[in-house]
Amino acid sequence: MYTFSNRLKIGSLVLMALGLLGMGIGFISAPSTVEEAQAMVATSHDDGHGGGHEAADASHGAAADAHGEEAGHGTDHGEHLLHQLQNRPWSAVYIAAFFFFMLALGVLAFYAIQRAAQAGWSPLLFRVMEGITSYIVPGGIVIFVILVLSVMHMNHLFVWMDAETVAEDALLQGKAGYLNPTFFLIRAAFFLGGWIAYREISRRLSLAQDKSDDNSNFIKNFKWSAGFLVFYLVTESMMSWDWIMSLDPHWFSTLFGWYVFASMFVSGITTIALVTIYLKSRGYLPDVNNSHIHDLAKFMFGISIFWTYLWFGQFMLIWYANIPEEVTYFVTRIEDFKLPFFGMVVMNFIFPLLVLMNSDYKRVNWFVVMTGIVVLVGHYLDVYIMITPATVGDQWYIGIPEIGAVLFFAGAFIFWVFRALTKAPLQPERNPFLEESRQFHY
């Protein structure tokens, strides 16, 4: 049995407290009027990079001239700015909440695949995975609450929830059959309900298998996992359209669901590797050897490349065809987010590619941990780049609200996951592939 070390517990609580503080500061410092917002932008620009500001202003002025509506533009601009700045703390919370939820969901998908594929190497890690997936319950509830608050107009994350905007926008009216608040929440509840249900059923069967004297629970679990994967294939795509793609409601991409999947899958696997290495270093997983770590690292390596493949596929096709209604998505990202946008490709692709290519390095714990951390930060950035341009736009900054939200959810994640790990023995006892996993050597 695993006991939650006091240091880790206190550490996670401290993270949560610091995070709450940061998030609080974010919400308090958000402007409430247009003037305040404009003043904030003016001061921050004076503080920071005065040089570039004038040039940007000049081009802005030229653009406004071209519109020929200078009078109306001033207030429009201010209101737009206000919404962006007000969105920033919300957006920060939403990104962090989704990111940590995505880790648990990615692990759940990996876990189901391992069960459905009857993998021989991984049963020793099932309890670790089950511990991580326990987070989808609180994490899912938090996301749902944020979505409900959005529907209640507590924020402006989803433009299409704003009846006034929709009234002026023919495109959004056309999508109202899908993008309407009620249906949106029903879908979210359906996805979350399905995922959580599988997680709970599978966990129960997994524990029951340890005590039973035949393989019936194991077989049931196999069937549930196969069924879940079908459900997941469909709902994961829809979830990504709902929760992320609809933030840019004018934009669409058929690949988007699978792209989000790759991101959550690789970061989920990375999380398994990190938690396993931690538990092993504390002596809790005596039968896990470096071949298991090697396999996890191979998955990190392979799925990182797969993520890049999808990232490139989506980016290149839209860049190549350059159809105006699609390409704005990447135009804003490249203009306003150049460093994080291309930086994440380095972190999510080039770095793991170079570091994890070598077979020996994949067995060295600190190499895997180091790469894992870079990959996780990279995929946080990935989620950030998917969400922020639509909510905050060029007013983005990674500051106290963002870091606070990450700290809070990281603390909650660690607390919940390691608490769940104490609830059952860390090694299953009666899985028919357990002996294979124990003897696994690559």
Q: Which of 66, 71, 163, 230 binds another protein (CB under 8 A)?
A: 230
Q: Which stretch binds another protein (CB under 8 A): 23-31, 34-42, 246-254, 372-380?
A: 246-254
State in angstroms the smallest separation of the CB of 180 from another protein. Answer: 13
Distance of closest approach, residue 436 Cβ to another protein, in angstroms: 5
Residue 349 lies near another protein (rule: CB under 8 A): no
Q: Of residues 206-225, which lie at the interface with another protein (CB under 8 A)?
A: 215
**Shortest Cβ 122–another protein spacing (Å):** 12
User: Which of positions 398-437 make contact with another protein (CB under 8 A)?
Assistant: 432-433, 435-436
- Asked if 184 interacts with another protein (CB under 8 A), we say no
Question: Is residue 354 involved in binding another protein (CB under 8 A)?
Answer: no
The span of 58-66, 191-199, 263-271, 305-313 binding another protein (CB under 8 A) equals: 305-313
Q: Is the separation of the CB atoms in 184 and 238 below 8 Å?
A: no
> Which listed range, 3-11, 33-41, 56-64, 314-322, lies at the site for another protein (CB under 8 A)?
314-322
Is residue 167 a contact point for another protein (CB under 8 A)?
A: no
Buried b (16+ CB within 10 A) or exposed e, 411-421: bbbbbbbbebb
- The alpha-carbon radius of gyration of the chain (Å, integer) is 23
End-to-end CA distance of the chain: 28
Q: Which residues contact 104 (CB under 8 A, 6 or more apart)?
A: 132, 133, 134, 135, 136, 139, 268, 413
Q: CA-to-CA distance for 1 and 8, rounded, in angstroms? A: 16
Q: How far is the CB of 5 from another protein (least distance, A)?
A: 33
Nearer to another protein, 87 or 235 (CB): 235
Tell me which amino acid residue 281 is: S
In the complex, minimum distance from the CB of residue 262 to another protein, in angstroms, rounded to a whole number: 9
309 contributes a contact to another protein by CB under 8 A: yes
183 near another protein, judged by CB under 8 A? no
Cβ 216 to another protein shortest distance, Å: 13
Taking CB under 8 A as the rule, which mask of x and - marks residues 89-128 in contact with another protein? -----------------------------x-xx-------
Q: Which of 325, 334, 342, 373 binds another protein (CB under 8 A)?
A: 325
Q: Which is nearer to another protein, 11 or 120 (CB)?
A: 120
Cα four-point dihedral sign 229, 231, 232, 233: positive
Q: Closer to another protein at the Cβ: 17 or 323?
A: 323
Closest approach of Cβ 268 to another protein, in Å? 18
Of 35-43, 81-89, 229-237, 339-347: span binding another protein (CB under 8 A): 229-237
Q: Is 441 a residue that touches another protein (CB under 8 A)?
A: yes
- Inter-residue contact 399 to 30 (CB < 8 Å): no
Number of residues lying near another protein (CB under 8 A): 41
Judged by CB under 8 A, the chain residues 251 through 290 that form the site for another protein are 252-258
Rounded to the nearest whole angstrom, what is the least distance from the CB of residue 144 to another protein in the complex? 23
Which tokens hold the place of 36? Answer: 């305040």
Q: According to the binding rule CB under 8 A, does residue 323 interact with another protein?
A: yes
Which residue ranges make up the site for another protein (CB under 8 A)? Answer: 118, 120-121, 171, 174-175, 178, 215, 230, 233-234, 237, 241, 252-258, 302, 305, 309-310, 313-314, 316-318, 320-321, 323, 325, 432-433, 435-436, 439-442
